[in-house]
């Protein structure tokens, strides 16, 4: 299964982004393919926080519009929203210690742990920080 990180979701939503065409095409392809794909819950939360933040976007996406965007993604019958499971703490702990992770990178470790718990094999992200976390193939779908 393939999972999608926050930045790809943000770029797929914000039409003024230089990455909008590629990101929106990728999300559309996943949503329409019929193959299972995933969005980790932390990425949904972060998506809402980023696109509605007035210091990040001028103008920010109004909250009802951001919520509607998530609702549109949820219409994909093959989408799986994934979250922490019973063994999450051990998985997160192992990833954080192995990668000597701290600070803001703990959030990325949380996403990787969640993905690994659900058998995700590939994470689509433009964030290079995931590479040091291991145990998951990370691909930037926005560059060829």
Place of tokens 């939503």: 13
Q: What domains sit in the chain, N to C, each tagged with a CATH number?
A: 2-139 (3.40.50.1010)
**What predicted TM-score, i.e. pTM, was given to this entire model?**
0.93
> From CA 107, how far away is CA 100, in angstroms rounded?
13
Residue-wise pLDDT tens digits, 56-69: 999 999 999 999 99
Residue-wise pLDDT tens digits, 57-114: 999 999 999 999 999 999 999 999 999 999 999 999 999 999 888 898 899 999 999 9
The angle at the Cα of 120, spanning 115 to 121, to the nearest 5 degrees, equals 125
């Amino acid at each position: 299964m393939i999972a999608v990180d926050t930045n790809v979701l943000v770029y797929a939503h914000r039409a003024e982004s230089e990455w909008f065409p590629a990101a929106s095409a990728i999300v559309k392809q996943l949503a329409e393919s019929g193959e299972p794909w995933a969005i980790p819950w932390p990425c949904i939360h972060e998506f809402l926080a980023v696109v509605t933040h007035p210091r990040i976007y001028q103008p920010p996406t109004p909250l009802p519009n951001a919520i509607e965007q998530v609702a549109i993604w949820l219409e994909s019958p093959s989408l799986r929203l994934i979250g922490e499971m019973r063994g999450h703490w051990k998985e997160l702990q192992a990833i954080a210690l192995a990668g000597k992770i701290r600070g803001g990178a703990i959030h990325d470790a949380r996403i990787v742990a969640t993905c690994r718990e659900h058998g995700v094999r590939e994470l689509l992200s433009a964030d290079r920080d995931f590479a040091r976390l291991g145990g998951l193939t990370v691909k930037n779908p926005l560059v060829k």
